[in-house]
Amino acid sequence: LNIHDFLKGYGVKPLTFRGGKDKAPLSLMGEVTEEGKQKIQEMIDHTHVAFKSHVANARPILADSIDSVATGDVWLASDAIKVGLVDRLISSDEYIGERIDKGARVLKLIKYDKRVHLPTFLSSSVGPSPFGHMRVAMKHLREFTNDARRIVSKAASLVDDLEATDISQVAAARAFGVGAMPK
């Protein structure tokens, strides 16, 4: 689809800016040129050759007949088997079962559609959370942080006491369970 001539018919002059001559050989509003059409076709042909090479390397049985199957057509599964594009037809469940039987470790992905704020999700009591261990870890981290704050506060209090009193008096007072004695 190109609307260049349509716009010009209404007196609108479309402008196209490019970073290089081949950056946008054809665009919605740019002028269609033979050079642009040729460049697009070259790009498509180059991609098609790369695709055929990839398929032939992945399926050596098709190396001699790649041009007959790499036509851009859509293949039904039953026809793809006949021409060698696929080896067999099985369901994904069958394939996964076979992989498990051969000792592969298969993980189940759980998709969550609704976005939830992480702390809310971790502390949710609605159903089992796959992050239950994280919830416990977060609880321990909060407890550790609170303990660390108490220790720092206590240390700061001791430093304040040391600045205000003689060290021997503080030690004696602490030993007897009383507050710091003033100088």
120 belongs to a structural domain: yes
Q: What pLDDT shows up at residue 99?
A: 92
Q: What pLDDT is attached to residue 59?
A: 93
Please indicate, yes or no, if residue 145 is contained in any of the structural domains: yes
Under 8 Å CB-to-CB from 84, ≥6 apart: which residues?
Answer: 59, 61, 62, 65, 69
What is residue 107's predicted lDDT score, i.e. its pLDDT?
84
- CA dist 99 and 5 (Å) reads 58
Q: What is the pLDDT of residue 80?
A: 93
> What is the number of domains present in the chain?
1
pLDDT at residue 88 in the model: 93
Judge whether 85 lies within some domain.
no
Angle of helix 132-164 relative to helix 167-175, nearest 10 degrees, comes to: 130
Q: Is the model more confident about 179 or about 160?
A: 160
pTM for this one?
0.50
Please report whether residue 73 resides in a domain: no
**pLDDT at residue number 45:** 96
Residue 125 lies in a domain: yes
Q: Residue 7: phi, psi to the nearest 5?
A: -65, -40
**Mean pLDDT, residues 57-77 taken together:** 93
Residues 6+ apart with CB under 8 A from 179: 173
pLDDT in tens, 16-27: 888 888 888 888
156 domain residue, yes or no: yes
**More confident position, 103 or 181:** 103
Q: Residue 21: inside a domain, yes or no? A: no
Assign residue 84 a region (left: φ > 0; alpha: ψ between -120 and 50; beta: otherwise): left
Span 134-142, average pLDDT: 78
Residue 159 domain flag: yes
Given a contact cutoff of 8 angstroms between Cβ atoms, the answer to whether 119 and 126 are in contact is no
Domain that holds residue 174: 114-183
